[in-house]
Every structure is written in structure tokens, then in C-alpha cells.
Structure 1
Amino acid sequence: MSDELEIDIDALGKRMDGALNALRQEFASLRTGRASASMLDPVMVEAYGSPTPVNQLGTITVPEPRMVLVNIWDKSLVNAVDKAIRNSGLGINPQMDGTILRLPIPELNEERRRDLARVAGQYAENARIAVRNVRRDGMDQLKKAKSAGMAEDDHKIWTEEVQELTNAAIGKIDAALEAKQDEIMQI
């Protein structure tokens, strides 16, 4: 077996882990009825001519379990941040107080919890697709190696290893999804 393929297998594993890390970040942005500064991570504000994350325009703090405060540094951007948060789909209506936006986190009802669980499922499916794309890339590399003279036995061993990596990554994604859905549905 060549060392090149081992490096490729390691790279495939890292790419699959990257999909899982991206999923965890998306999960962190899902609201579960408790305030979290990371819930504003996906919110982009049109500022200074380009989309900018809220956390680069002000300080985000969580003083209470059901309240997020955003202290905007540039007074001229307060309305833009307010509008971006309202249009983000988070279901939060900011209250302006000078350069401070108060974001009261409402109690989640059963319907909203189901919607969030569905969104978490969509995020997990996107992560599974990313893992399967990495698997496909690995299998393409193995086909090229086989046509370049790789032994049949070596090809089979490497194919099984890529499949094991894929199964492990998808298992981690499913476990993360189940944990997040349990957290969302918890009252």
C-alpha cells in the first residue's frame, strides 16, 4: 500500500470531521428557549457596503437566561442590525434602547419546537450529504489508483476503510441530531 493513499484517507477523515464541526455550529445557532450569544451567528447585517456578522458590529451579552443584549458600537447601524434580526427568522423582536438592542427570548410553544427540530434535521441532512460527497471523492481517488495499477486486494481494503470512515461520520451526525432534537423538545 502506498503512503500517498494513507495521506488521502487522513484528509478524507478531516473533511468529514469538518462537516460535523459545521453542523455543530449550525446547531448552536438554533434557539432552544434559552438565550445564547451564538444564536445571532447566522445573522448578517448590510454594513459598510458588505454583509457583516452581528458579532463584528457590537458586543453580545447574555445577562439573563431569557435575554440577549447587543451593544452596537456604531450608532448609525442600530436600525440596520434591528432590521436584520427581525428578518432573520429567529422569531425575536428586538427592543431599541439607544445603541443597545434588547432581545427577549420568548417561551417556545410546541409547534415552534417541532419546526426547530425539523430545521435541525435539515442541517443534519446537509452534513450527511457533505460526508457522502467526501466519500465519493475518496472512491474516485481509489478508482484512479486502481486504473494506475493498484492491486485488487489493496483496492478492496481501502474501499472498506473509506466506507468505515463514512459510517463513523454519519453515526456522529445522527447522534448530534438526536441530542439537539432532545434539547429542543425539552420543556
Structure 2
Amino acid sequence: MIDDIKSEADERMAKSLDALNHNFNKIRTGRAHPSLLDGLRVEYYGSETPLNQVANVNVEDARTLSLTAWDKTMIPAIEKAIMKSDLGLNPATAGEVIRIPMPMLTEETRKGYIRQARHEAESARVSIRNARRDANGMLKDLVKEKEISEDDERRGQDEVQKLTDGFVAKVEKMLAEKEADLMEI
């Protein structure tokens, strides 16, 4: 039973890390990366469709993304979606290819992105601590129902705490890498 609780907590904490990684990918650095456009949706025949389902996204060089729409009539809609996004990007169309140059980040913009990254990391830490709280609550319930002893509960809580510490350390490492990436010129 304790192992089930521990594995459930481990799963929830791992999902928090995945969510953090996904959120970090949305924070743009000075370099071009196709995942920047993952959250964009384009109006396609009356429905909102993810950009990667209507166009091929490639990295042309370190500071330029290129998009090739599969349906050439979609080019204006794709441009419009990129401009309306909060990414601050200005696409330039050259025939059938849309090029998106990555503007240089100012010091102020970098600090804003670092604040955003720290906020995302704190959300992940809170999520991990919530998983720990829930696991400890389940252990307490097992003690109340006399299914495990108090010593087993203590041992279980220690294991869950070690798990929590490991995941929080991973969050800190990811945050440090993202901050270093953002401050790189």
C-alpha cells in the first residue's frame, strides 16, 4: 500500500516536471526553436487548428524560423496568428515560405522572461508539494484505519519527502539552466 502511494506521488511529481518543461519551452530565448510556436492555433476551415498541423516549422539558422504551409491559401491566416500571439514576432512572407526572425532580447525583456520562468518554477514546486501533502494524507488515513503502523507511516513519509526533495532539486536545476539560457547573449 505504501508503495502504491509512493508511486502515485512519483507520477504526479513527474507530471509537474513535464508541465514545467512545456512551460519553459514557451518562454523564448534569443535562439530560434520550433517549440516556440507550439501553442499557436490557426483558423483552418472554421476550426482552431494547431500550427504544426497546417505548416512545417523548421529552424533556418540560429535566429530564424521558417514555415512552409501545406495549403498555400493558409499563409495569410498563419501570418495573422503569429502576429496576434504574445510572442512579439513579425513574420515575413517570401512566396510560399514564411520566415520569422527572432528579435534580439533587451536586458529588460530578459529579466521579464526570467521572472516568468521563476513563477513557472514556483508553480511546479507548489504542485510537487501538493502531491507530497496528498500522499502524507493517504498515509495518515491508513494509520487511522489500522492498515499500517505508525512506524510504517513515518517510514512512508520519509520516503515521500526524499522523493519530493529530488523533484524540487530537478526543478531548481531546470530553472538555473533556463536562466542561464535567457541571460546568454
| TM-score (normalised: structure 2) | 0.91
Q: Extract unaligned runs of 5+ from structure 2.
A: none
Q: Extract unaligned runs of 5+ from structure 1.
A: none
Q: CA deviation at 1:28?
A: 2.3
Give the aligned partner of residue 85 of structure 1. Answer: 82
1:91-106 correspondence runs (5 A): 91-106=88-103
Give the aligned partner of residue 68 of structure 1. Answer: 65
CA contact (8 A) 1:57 1:74 kept: yes
Q: CA deviation at 1:179?
A: 1.1
Q: CA deviation at 1:49?
A: 4.0
Give the aligned partner of residue 176 of structure 1. Answer: 174
Counterpart of 2:65 in 1: which secondary structure?
strand
Give the aligned partner of residue 164 of structure 2. Answer: 166
Give the aligned partner of residue 141 of structure 2. Answer: 144
Q: CA deviation at 1:121?
A: 1.1
Give the aligned partner of residue 183 of structure 2. Answer: 185
Counterpart of 2:6 in 1: which secondary structure?
helix
Counterpart of 1:170 in 2: which secondary structure?
helix
For these two proteins, the number of residue pairs brought into alignment is 184
Equivalents in 2 of 1:112, 1:152: separation in Å? 52
Counterpart of 2:56 in 1: which secondary structure?
strand
Equivalents in 1 of 2:111, 2:158: separation in Å? 37
CA contact (8 A) 1:33 1:108 kept: yes
Give the aligned partner of residue 58 of structure 1. Answer: 55
Counterpart of 1:42 in 2: which secondary structure?
coil
Question: What amino acid is the match of 1:54?
Answer: L
Counterpart of 1:172 in 2: which secondary structure?
helix
Counterpart of 1:63 in 2: which secondary structure?
strand
Question: What amino acid is the match of 2:17?
Answer: L
- Within the candidate set 126, 131, 136, 1:134 is matched to 131
| TM-score (normalised: structure 1) | 0.90
- Residues 19-60 of structure 1: CA deviation (Å, up to 9, x unaligned): 112212222232111111111112222334443221111100
Equivalents in 2 of 1:71, 1:13: separation in Å? 40
Residue 38 in 1 paired to residue 70 in 2? no
